[in-house]
Amino acid sequence: MPPAGGGGPPGERKARLPAPFGGGAGRASSPTGAPPAPMPQPPPPVMQPPQQQPPPVMQPPQQQPPVMQPPQQQPAATPRAAAPAQPTQQGFPPPAPPAPPPVAPVPMAYLAGPGATPARDTHGFVAFAQLSLRRALRLRIEPDELTPDERAQLAHAGVTHPVFQSFLAWRRSVVFMVAALLVPLIILKAVEIFDLPDATSAAERSALATIQGLQSIPLLAEIAFCALAWVQLRNWTDWRRQRRSLAIGWAVYFLAPFVIYLYPLRSLADDMFAEGGVTGAERKAAVVFVGLIWSLQAMMTLAPKAVSLIPGLVRASLVSKFLFPGSAAPGWLMVLAAPIYAVLVYVVLIVPYQITGSGWFVLAILGIGAAEYLLARGGLELARPMTHGDAVAIAHRARRSYLIAMAVGALCLVVALGSVVRQLDFEALTVVNLIGTFLASVWILTVITTDLVIVGLDRARGLTAGTSHLVDESNRQLAAFVGAVDPHDQVRGDRPTPPDL
């Protein structure tokens, strides 16, 4: 008898399916007792095709929130995000803007050095003169000290390097100050030349006319150079063109007074005394005295230009060292110029000292000599390749002590020249012209000599190309020579051990 609760064999209970996949318990068997036919069933969820329910990993990246992709879980995404070809995606930083055109590296000291002031345009002659005076008293300016107008003119001329831009702007201001200073000097010299006492005889009138004619030659050269400087200010962005014109004009301006004093002015005094009836030893002594006075005048005319050569060279060496700190040549120029300048100053000042006997000349010689000694020490430190910051620090330290000693010597020299004016009855106008001429000569020589140093360094660069093996051979020979003289020098760490010769 079948068990209660259902028909069919007992094993049919195992054929029941869970309710979710079939009918109820009363539909588990057929009336005939045979095994029931399988009921149609829906496909299980696991058999659904992937396209109907895409897995989360197949979703596009833009549908995933950024918090679902922490950087520490995807270490490989960092280099791909930094690659230039990686497209911008949500959660990643935007691509960087295009890089500017390559520019030669500039030391940071150039871009933010001490004493730099915000750049601004200067309108008017007085404003630009004040700016130029501040620049001329210095040896360099920073690129950010250029005015917007100067920067625009340089960019229009194709000058884009910031260091070269600052050099040309500084150079422009120095040339402007020289041109502006020459204007009053020309007027004062013209007054000094043509304001002579009236002549009483034909010989005196002839002598005075000859003197005025000779002294007018350097005056005309100075006028021509002043006009050239004003004209060349328009070409301040064209360095090659301007430097050649200024160099030629300066050579004429510098050499003109040296040429006229080749004329023997003593012969004019001889003619005057002969016409005045002075004869014998008295006439000879008078002629010698007049020749001595004129020689002192020649010295006071030529000395400012001759003595200004070395200060101009020293300033130019410092300017060149700031521009090219990797070059050792500017430092060696300072080392060589210092003793030459000390000897030159001694020769120039010993003449008025012997005439006047003023001890101020001795103090001036000692002060200037001490300054040149300090300059030589500073130049020796700069006579090696170094960074721009090191060059500026060494130069400022050496120049500070040098300027203090020079100021003491210059003050003593001014007092000594005052004694010359009093004893020889020179006018104060002569001393003013002397000081003004010296200052203008130093400024223009700084520009001219800097140009020559730059051209020389460029020429040396071209001549030494491909000769590194010769330089190495010369260094080996020099090391062997120094080692043969001083055996202890071979163990120094900064030089190679010299080979046997």
Domains of the chain by residue range: 136-263, 308-461
The total number of residues written for the chain in this structure? 501
Q: Is the dihedral of CA 314, 315, 318, 320 positive or negative?
A: negative
Which whole-number Å values give the CA distances from 308 to 95, 246, 364, 449, in the listed order? 59, 17, 16, 12
Instruction: Please check whether residue 342 is in contact with residue 368, taking contact to mean a CB–CB distance below 8 angstroms.
Output: yes
Quick one: pLDDT at residue 183? 94
pTM, two decimal places:
0.67
374: which residues sit within 8 A by CB, 6+ positions away? Answer: 398, 401, 402, 405
Query: Which stretches of the chain drop beneath a pLDDT of 70?
Result: 1-123, 196-201, 271, 274-278, 424-426, 465, 483-501
Residue 110 has what pLDDT? Answer: 35
CA distance 361 to 369: 12
Break the chain down into helix, strand, coil percent, rounded to 5.
70, 0, 30
Burial bucket for residue 156 (CB in 10 Å: 0-12, 13-18, 19+): exposed
SS (H, E, C) 48-60: CCCCCCCCHHHCC
Closest CA to 321 of 371, 377, 389: 389
